[in-house]
Amino acid sequence: MPQVGDKVQVITKKSTEEGILMPSSNENVTIIKLDTGYNVGFKKEDIKEVKLIKEKTKEQSKPKKEIPKKENLKTISILHCGGTIASKVDYETGAVKAKFSPEELLEMFPELGNLVNLRSKLVANMLSENMRFVHYNIIAKEIEKEIKAGSEGIIITHGTDMLHYTSAALAFVLENLNIPVLLVGAQRSSDRGSSDAFLNLKCAANFIANTDFAEVALCMHNSANDDVCSIIPGVKARKMHSSRRDAFKSINAEPFALIDNDGKIDWLRNDYVKRDGSKKLTLKLFKENLKIGIIKAHPQMFAEEIKAYEKFDGLILEGTGLGHFPVEKYDDHTKENELIFKEIETLAKKIPVVMTTQTIFGGINMNVYSPGRKLQEAGVLGNLLDMTAETALIKLAWLLSNYPKEKIKKLFSQNFRGEISSQRNYQEEFC
């Protein structure tokens, strides 16, 4: 009788498939992992026969070998925060098994040993959507420890869904950063032939090893091809697809550079922060109990939606177009809009309320149309800025954590980490 982990052939009424037998939570379904890395399930009633092809190979524990440090290579630290990038399938359980030690990483990705000296540490093995402000502080403190221990660059492995929030958070927290901090994720698990894990990790290591770059950025696939990665500013990144390998794009700014599988670097910008040994890293951490909300403008809004944030510390409005919300009455059917405006006006007197746009590209210009001017008069911030809603949320939280509330209005329009591409007056486009 085949066991989990064995290679089997499943013969059904319609087809024959080969793969690794996986655990199944449904006793009426047999699951195998194909050579492509995908799982496929078969109803037992449709199966004619399951043939054993090869029994699973039992893994033997290997003694850890001490990795000699190569004097001509930079030392980098890989801090693991979750995701699939440094993982392999454990066929005993069917789960993804994380590999965190330098020895395990070099066993998976031996080419890294020719690029850098590796240090490696598990920080938080979790799905990224579960992260809170406290986790940004934890990661920042670990980065500080690694720098003090002599690390010349940091790679953070991380789940992709909230990767751009974490990159923005670290960009703001790590003040006077003097080494590169690159966040790396994987859209496809490492057991799949189409995995992007290795190229992303290899390109990140190569970029750190061969540049004077000293900022927070993402290193992810530049296209669906498995050949080039983009170095995307940490405060300008956004996940644009749920599963493509090139899911991450730089918004309202070019990537810093492209780097290919051979380590060739094509610089697209020269305005990046360079290494400077005179700098001393300072951590400006988040207040971990802050409440920052985000609400998207949509049809059929009600004032209660805004009022729900009255006990929060700040609110991001994801408005339409140039920065609008349904705040004007046009007929008897739009009376609710007047109530929405009053709630925004009341809220803006208590907490910072910031306008962003639902459009992916472009910026806010609340000077052009009457709803925008009306919202500005009510105290809504964000005019003439081009931050993503995600970066705006993180920046507002960071400002409230480190500066007096009365200074937030002025500081929010200040460019701290390249989060504002330009503050051009969009009014000119309508003249």
Q: Which residues are catalytic?
A: 84, 160-161, 239
What token pair was written down for 104?
């395990």
Which has the closest alpha carbon to 152: 218, 213, 85?
213
CA-atom Rg of the chain in angstroms: 25
* Residues near 345 by beta carbon (within 8 Å), at least 6 away in sequence: 378, 379
Cα–Cα dist 179/69, whole Å = 20
Residue 213 per-residue DSSP state: B
Cα–Cα dist 57/43, whole Å = 27
Interhelix angle 133-148/163-173, nearest 10 degrees: 60
Q: Which helix (H) or strand (E) holds 140?
A: helix 133-148
How many secondary structure helices (H) and strands (E) does the chain include?
A: 9, 22
**If DSSP codes are grouped into helix, strand and coil, which group holds residue 137?**
helix
Residue 240 per-residue DSSP state: -
Q: Which helix (H) or strand (E) holds 121?
A: strand 117-122
What token pair was written down for 397?
């939280």
Residues 219, 204: contact at Cβ < 8 Å?
Answer: yes
Cα–Cα dist 185/86, whole Å = 9
Alpha carbon 58 to its chain centroid, in Å, reads 36
Which has the closest alpha carbon to 325: 309, 303, 341?
341
Residue 274 per-residue DSSP state: B
What token pair was written down for 144?
């500080």
